[in-house]
Structure 1
Amino acid sequence: MRTATFFDGEGWREGVVLIDDDGRMLLRDEPSASRIPRLDGVIVGGFTDHHVHLQLVEHELLAQSRLGRVVDLGGDPGVVASYADAARFVSLRSLNDRDGELRSPREERSDETKRATRIEYAGAFLTPVGGYPSDRDWAPAGSVREIVNEASSTSSAADAVAEMADAGASCIKIASNRTAGPVFDDIVFRAIVEAASAHGLPVVAHAEGRGEAQRVARLGAATLAHAPFTERLDDEEIAEQAASVTWISTLAIHGGADLHVALDNVRRFHAACGRVLYGTDMGNGPTPVDLNPLELAALRDAGLDGPALRGALAPRDPRDPASVLLLLPHRDADPTHARRLTAADLEA
């Protein structure tokens, strides 16, 4: 048992981290006794990558990562749902028993690293017939749901949203890439937003091409899957975006002019109090199945550091018994210095 400082998702608190009678490592929000030794470092829950594509990476590596939650933004809903179900099973098994037999503390301690990353997902990309990414070799079978792009097809749009909702989606992904094919007209886009809202699901839009970031925001998208990179938004447009839309960063996938534009947009969006979330587009190139130091460095270049960077990473509440527990050297430490807390840390 150790007393510890931990981040609950909003602020720093004091608590006790211990291994209970069933061998589970738990963090409790309770007053600490002065006689209990203090943990060397602070605790946070596993970080969130808000933009991943698990079918394009070795998703099993999440089990050893510092990610407590990922959001898949485009994949076969059945396949990604199976990944999420498997992760939930591993997490519950690590908290309860195995094959009907309680684990001993020693067995449970050795299994602490198997606490699973929570997987949420949008299901398939919703796109017009022939729209992005329907023609991409990297798009797995079942990861694209095409909808006829006509005003009379609003019922088809609602059907597509219902399919994703029934598959367990936590959001809806719309592809609106004007540089790579057709995009939904305003009527169909709004129909998707309205259908998603009826299911309690926000819309995340891949907006690419001149004017698309502003258009999808005006039509009701809650989040941009990528910080705008194809054009520099003027300050008035930045202010409008900051008041209505969240941006997922994905800065490190860019280079050259696109990176310059994206960084400039994010700097001004953040300065205008816009909400920026850490996301890597994991699977787009050789990205790590873990925290991406290049993405973190780019966010710092854009002005996010300290509390702002921690907010973008959205760590889970470590008091959740299924949460990945991470140990940092101190409150303001570089997130890449985080590692998984182990039973050995409580015995040192």
Structure 2
Amino acid sequence: MRTAIFFDREGWREGAVALDDGGRMLLRDEPDPADLPRLDGVIVGGFTDHHVHLQLVEHELLAASRLGRVVDLGGNPGALSVLAEGAPATRVEYAGAFLTPTGGYPSDREWAPAGSVREIENVASSMAHAATAVAEMAEAGASCIKVASNRTAGPVFDDIVLRAIVEAASAVGLPVVAHAEGRGEAQRVARLGVATLAHAPFTERLDDDEIAEQAASVSWISTLAIHGGADLHVALDNVRRFQAAGGRVLYGTDMGNGPTPVDLNALEIAALRDAGLDAPALLRALAPGDPRDPASVLLLLPHRDADPTRARRLTAADLES
């Protein structure tokens, strides 16, 4: 057993970590016994990637990663349910299929797996169909609903249908995450009740009043490292001002969009630092799990303000050295 400093998702606390009879490492929240040696480093729970696509990557690699939780934002709900059941080391949550208008993004994309897109006719009379699609995802085990609102790549839901989706999701206790792309889309979906933007806005610079409105109503999943050039410049500027305005930034990589690692992404961490997130803000964005949970992945950091990319899994050898 070793005493240790750990992050309980709100602040740093004192505890003790030990191996149980089954060889699992368990962290207990208890006073510091003076006669025990101290662990060299601090403990956090496994990090969260809030935007992944597990059907597009070697998802088996999650078992050795530093991710304790991932949220799949667009895939076949049946396949994702199977993946979630077979990933004991990493908690897998998912939205199920993209909800999109007939012919909308990403219905025409070759990368979209079969069953990963649920098209809904974009007319006011489709409100019942929208509720049915939400119910289907909820019954498949979804923890959120994903809406595609990409005006640059095809039709988007009109206000009436999108509002119906948000209301149907709210009725079953699920937040709505939107891929908002194209001029005015980030503001529109926020106004209609979407809880989270799947990507920090990158197609236009929001003015300071719009940033303040966003900070008060929605959270942003970063996905900065998938961009380059002007899109990256715009996204970084938006995130920098959103963070300064008190907005909630969530770490997410769009894993599967290009050659992304099935683990913590150093490029995304670097981009978040470029956007002004200091060590505490970065840790909040990574949303580490509670290390006192027996099912939690335990990570070891050199010290409280260490770069998260320096985290590694805590091992039994750390308690013996």
Give the TM-score range, shorter chain. over 0.9
Match of 1:218 in 2: 191
Q: Deviations over 1:308-337 (max 9, x none)?
A: 000000000000000000000000000000
Alignment of 1:28-67 (within 5 A): 28-67=28-67
What CA distance in whole angstroms lies between the structure 2 residues aligned with 1:131 and 1:304? Answer: 34
Structure 2: how far apart are the matches of 1:239 and 1:130?
33
Matched letter for residue 297 of structure 1:
A
Alpha-carbon distance in 2 for matches of 1:251, 1:236? 22
Deviations 1:263-315 (A, max 9, x none): 01001111111110000000000000000010000000100021100000000
Q: Deviations over 1:83-137 (max 9, x none)?
A: 10112xxx3xxxxxxxxxxxxxxxxxxxxxxxx0100000000000000000000
Q: Write the distance in 1 (CA, Å) between the matches of 2:180 and 2:23.
A: 47
**Which whole-Å CA distance do the structure 2 matches of 1:305 and 1:135 have between them?**
39
- In the TM superposition, 1:218-297 aligns within 5 A as 218-297=191-270
Provide the residue aligned with 1:325 in structure 2. Answer: 298
Residue equivalent to 2:18:
18
Residue 24 of structure 1: how far off its partner (Å): 2.0
The residue identity in structure 2 corresponding to 1:300 is R
Partner amino acid, structure 1, of 2:73: L
Q: Does 1:141 align with 2:102?
A: no
Identity score, percent: 85
Question: Which of 144, 153, 157 is the aligned partner of 1:171?
Answer: 144
Q: Output aligned runs, 1:107-126, within 5 Å.
A: 116-126=89-99
- Deviating 4+ runs (over 6 angstroms): none
SS in 1 for 2:86: helix
**Corresponding pairs, count:** 321
Q: Kindly report which structure 2 residues correspond to 1:148-167, keeping only aligned pairs within 5 A, or say none.
A: 148-167=121-140
Q: CA deviation at 1:219?
A: 0.5
Give the superposed CA RMSD. Answer: 0.6
Partner of 1:130: 103
Q: Which runs of 5+ in 1 are unaligned?
A: 92-115
For 2:103 and 2:229, the matched residues in 1 are separated by 29
Deviation at 1:50, TM superposition (A): 0.3
Letter of the 1:18 counterpart: A
Corresponding residue SS for 1:217 = helix
CA distance, structure 2, for counterparts of residue 241 and residue 308 of structure 1: 18
Unmatched 5+ residue regions in structure 2? none
**CA deviation vs aligned residue, 1:208-258 (integer Å, no higher than 9, x gap):** 000000000000000000000000101111111011010000000000000
Which residue of structure 1 aligns with residue 176 of structure 2? Answer: 203
Equivalences for residues 328-347 of structure 1 within 5 A:
328-347=301-320
Cα distance in structure 2, aligned partners of 1:276 and 1:85:
28
CA displacement, residues 33-79 of structure 1 (integer Å, 9 cap, x when unaligned): 11111111000000000000000000000000000000000000010
Partner Cα separation in structure 2 for residue 243 and residue 35 of structure 1:
48
For 1:26, the aligned partner's letter is L
Q: Which residue of 2 aligns with 1:70?
A: 70
State the alpha-carbon separation in 2 of the partners of residues 141 and 171 from structure 1. 20
Residue equivalent to 1:112: none
- 1:187, 1:85 → 2: CA distance? 36
1:80 maps to a residue whose letter is L
Instruction: Return the TM-score normalized by structure 1.
Output: 0.92
Amino acid at match of 1:71: V
